Amino acid sequence: MLMGMITVDGLTRDYGSGKGIFAVSFSVEKGETFGFLGPNGAGKTTTIRHLMGFLKPVSGKCEINALDCWKDRDKIQAQLGYIPGEISFFEEMTGTEYLQFMEQYRRLGTESRKEELLDFFQLDPGVKLKKMSKGMKQKIALVVAMMHDPAILIFDEPTSGLDPLMQNKFIDFINAEKKRGKTILLSSHMFEEVERTCDRIGIIRNGRLAEVNPVQELRNRHVRPYTVTLETEALAKAFAEDFHGQRNGRKVTVTAKQSLEDIFMHYYGDESLDQHSTV
Partner 1 sequence: MISTALYKREMKRSIKLLLIFCTVLTMYIAIIISMYKPELAKMLDKYVELMPELMASFGMTGDATTLTGFMCSYLYGFILLIIPMLFSIIRGNGLIAGYVDKGSMVSLLSAPLKRRTVVLTQMAVLISGILLLNLYITAVELFFAEYDYPDQLHIGHLLSLNTGLLFLHLFIGSICFTASCVFSDTKYSVGAGAGIPVLMYILKMLANMGDKADNIKYLTFFTLFNPDGIVDGELKAVIGIIVLLTGAVILFTSSVVVFCRKDLNI
Site residues (vs partner 1, CB under 8 A):
49, 52-56, 73-75, 77-78, 80, 82, 84, 86-91, 101-102, 104-107, 144-145
Q: How far is the CB of 74 from partner 1 (least distance, A)?
A: 5
Q: How far is the CB of 105 from partner 1 (least distance, A)?
A: 4
At 203, is the secondary structure helix, strand, or coil? Answer: strand
Between β-strands 80-83 and 152-156, what pairing exists: parallel, antiparallel or unpaired? parallel
Length of the chain counted residue by residue: 279
Q: How far is the CB of 76 from partner 1 (least distance, A)?
A: 8
Q: How far is the CB of 228 from partner 1 (least distance, A)?
A: 55
Q: Which is nearer to partner 1, 98 or 173 (CB)?
A: 98
Burial degree of 223 (CB within 10 A; 0-12, 13-18, 19+): exposed
Q: Which is nearer to partner 1, 54 or 239 (CB)?
A: 54
| Closest listed residue to residue 151, CA positions, set 51, 241, 50, 81 | 81
β-sheet bridge partners, residue 248: 251
> Vertex 134, ends 129 and 138: CA angle to 5°?
80
> What is d(CA 158, CA 194) in angstroms, rounded to the nearest whole number?
11
Q: How far is the CB of 88 from partner 1 (least distance, A)?
A: 4
Q: Which is nearer to partner 1, 87 or 240 (CB)?
A: 87
Q: Which is nearer to partner 1, 84 or 245 (CB)?
A: 84
Backbone φ and ψ for 165, nearest 5 degrees, come out as -60, -45
> What is d(CA 170, CA 192) in angstroms, rounded to the nearest whole number?
12
Q: Which is nearer to partner 1, 48 or 263 (CB)?
A: 48
Q: Which is nearer to partner 1, 101 or 239 (CB)?
A: 101
> What is d(CA 275, CA 205) in angstroms, rounded to the nearest whole number?
12
Q: How far is the CB of 82 from partner 1 (least distance, A)?
A: 4
Q: Which is nearer to partner 1, 55 or 210 (CB)?
A: 55
Q: How far is the CB of 35 from partner 1 (least distance, A)?
A: 21
Burial degree of 210 (CB within 10 A; 0-12, 13-18, 19+): middle
> What is d(CA 256, CA 232) in angstroms, rounded to the nearest whole number?
23
Q: Which is nearer to partner 1, 46 or 197 (CB)?
A: 46
Between β-strands 19-28 and 67-68, what pairing exists: parallel, antiparallel or unpaired? unpaired
Buried b (16+ CB within 10 A) or exposed e, 240-268: beeeebebeebebebeeebebeebbeebb
Q: How far is the CB of 78 from partner 1 (least distance, A)?
A: 4
